[in-house]
């Protein structure tokens, strides 16, 4: 209902990050349900992504296909990460979109352009910071796992420690401060951070002033695909920390059967995340990595032969057993 004729959606954020994220969700939903109504929406949503790709392989805000005033293309690794996930999901869901395969191959070139020779990925140029995980996963999903850029990026990520709440103690110190001031760079944040820095373990300080959950959403997937001891070590550290960081409201809501259920969520004060919905999504998706990524990443994903018969008039709710979640 919110999709426009051009394939984009009403109510998006200013830079239209929501578009590739929504497209990713639609493509994955079709891959799991084969509902033709979902397929039609996904096909339309893919059009602006494919048409908005630069000849250099990347994307920028709003999927603007044009170069900057200086004639150069702004290839944004962060934005590209969501576009790559959407394209991969479409590919594995067997959605036939014009230019899809070409866009996936070209996107590898875009990520490589932002890869640092010593290992890592930058924002709109080569770098070695948190966006290393975005570039790494992007190339993994696009079939370039064996490229040197990916192997070097995994070495960089190998020094990371999965954490949730470097910002949480800072945020706790700032409960009475206006929301717009709870961000990196503000004087209030700097003051709180300086007081709390000694309490943060040394191995966690690498992301103390960044956006760990945004970076780790990608890093967790990179490690999962890498496997072996790298994934085992990451997983052993991640699970208890993330579970402990969850906030819970007991018996906050009744389920469809009238049973009282707890509500759990996560909050942090990352620079590039919103409380509490995005925080919760990024963390929950990491904790689903064990079973969630088959539709998007596995070559063994199995699709049934026929689509489910559905029309726009099918509006009945689908019953979901929440079990003990």
Q: Which residue has the higher pLDDT, 269 or 261?
A: 261
What is the reported pLDDT for 290?
87
Residue with tokens 């945020």: 171
Q: What is the maximum span of the chain, computed from C-alpha positions, in angstroms? A: 61
Cα distance between residue 224 and residue 300, in whole Å: 16
For the CA atoms of 78, 100, 278, 73, the dihedral, rounded to the nearest 10 degrees, stands at: 20
| Beta bridge pairs of residue 249 | 263
Which strand (E) or helix (H) includes residue 185? none
Compute the average pLDDT of residues 255-277. Answer: 84
- Is 301 a residue whose pLDDT tops 70? no
**CB environment 60-81: b (16+ within 10 A), e (fewer):** bebbeeeeeeeeebbbbbbbbb
Cα distance between residue 317 and residue 321, in whole Å: 13
What is the reported pLDDT for 291?
81
Q: Contact 47/85 with Cβ under 8 angstroms?
A: no
Cα distance between residue 246 and residue 302, in whole Å: 34
**Summary count for the chain: helices (H), strands (E):** 13, 2
Crossing angle of helices 277-287 and 228-245, rounded to 10°:
140
State which CATH number among 3.40.640.10, 3.90.550.10, 3.40.50.720, 1.50.10.10 fits the domain covering 1-159.
Answer: 1.50.10.10
Span 128-183, pLDDT tens digits = 988 999 999 999 999 999 999 999 999 999 988 887 654 444 444 445 555 555 55
What is the reported pLDDT for 321?
41
Residue with tokens 């934005």: 79
Q: Contact 120/153 with Cβ under 8 angstroms?
A: yes
Instruction: Note the residue count of the chain.
Output: 325
Cα distance between residue 63 and residue 53, in whole Å: 7
Q: Where are the domains of the chain?
A: 1-159, 160-241+267-295
Span 204-227, pLDDT tens digits = 554 544 578 889 999 999 999 988
- Is 270 a residue whose pLDDT tops 60? yes
- Is 314 a residue whose pLDDT tops 60? no
Q: How many CA atoms lie within 13 A of 28 on its CB side?
A: 17
**Nearest CA to 103 among 172, 163, 51, 40?**
51
Cα distance between residue 94 and residue 303, in whole Å: 9
């Amino acid at each position: 209902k919110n999709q426009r004729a051009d394939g984009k959606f009403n109510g998006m954020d200013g830079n239209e990050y929501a578009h590739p994220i929504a497209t990713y969700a639609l493509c994955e939903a079709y891959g799991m349900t084969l509902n033709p109504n979902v397929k039609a929406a996904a096909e339309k949503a893919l059009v602006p992504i494919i048409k908005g790709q630069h000849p250099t392989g990347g994307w920028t805000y709003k999927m603007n296909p044009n170069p900057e005033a200086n004639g150069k293309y702004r290839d944004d690794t962060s934005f590209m990460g969501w576009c790559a996930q959407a394209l991969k999901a479409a590919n594995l869901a067997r959605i036939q979109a014009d230019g899809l395969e070409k866009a996936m191959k070209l996107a590898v070139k875009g990520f490589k352009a932002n890869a640092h020779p010593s290992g890592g990925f930058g924002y709109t140029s080569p770098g070695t910071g948190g966006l290393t995980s975005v570039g790494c996963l992007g190339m993994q999903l696009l079939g370039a796992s064996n490229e040197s850029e990916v192997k070097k990026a995994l070495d960089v990520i190998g020094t990371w420690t999965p954490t949730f709440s470097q910002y949480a103690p800072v945020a706790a110190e700032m409960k009475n401060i206006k929301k717009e001031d709870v961000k990196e760079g503000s004087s209030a944040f700097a003051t709180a951070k300086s007081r709390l820095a000694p309490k943060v373990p040394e191995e966690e300080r690498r992301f103390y002033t960044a956006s760990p959950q945004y970076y780790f959403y990608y890093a967790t997937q990179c490690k999962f695909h890498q496997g072996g001891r790298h994934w085992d070590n990451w997983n052993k550290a991640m699970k208890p920390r993330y579970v402990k960081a969850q906030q819970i409201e007991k018996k906050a809501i009744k389920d469809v059967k009238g049973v009282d259920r707890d509500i759990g969520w996560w909050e942090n004060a990352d620079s590039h995340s919103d409380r509490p919905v995005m925080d919760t999504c990024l963390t929950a998706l990491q904790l689903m990595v064990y079973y969630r990524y088959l539709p998007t990443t596995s070559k063994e994903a199995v699709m049934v032969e026929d689509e489910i018969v559905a029309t726009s008039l099918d509006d009945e709710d689908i019953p979901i057993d929440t079990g003990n979640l």
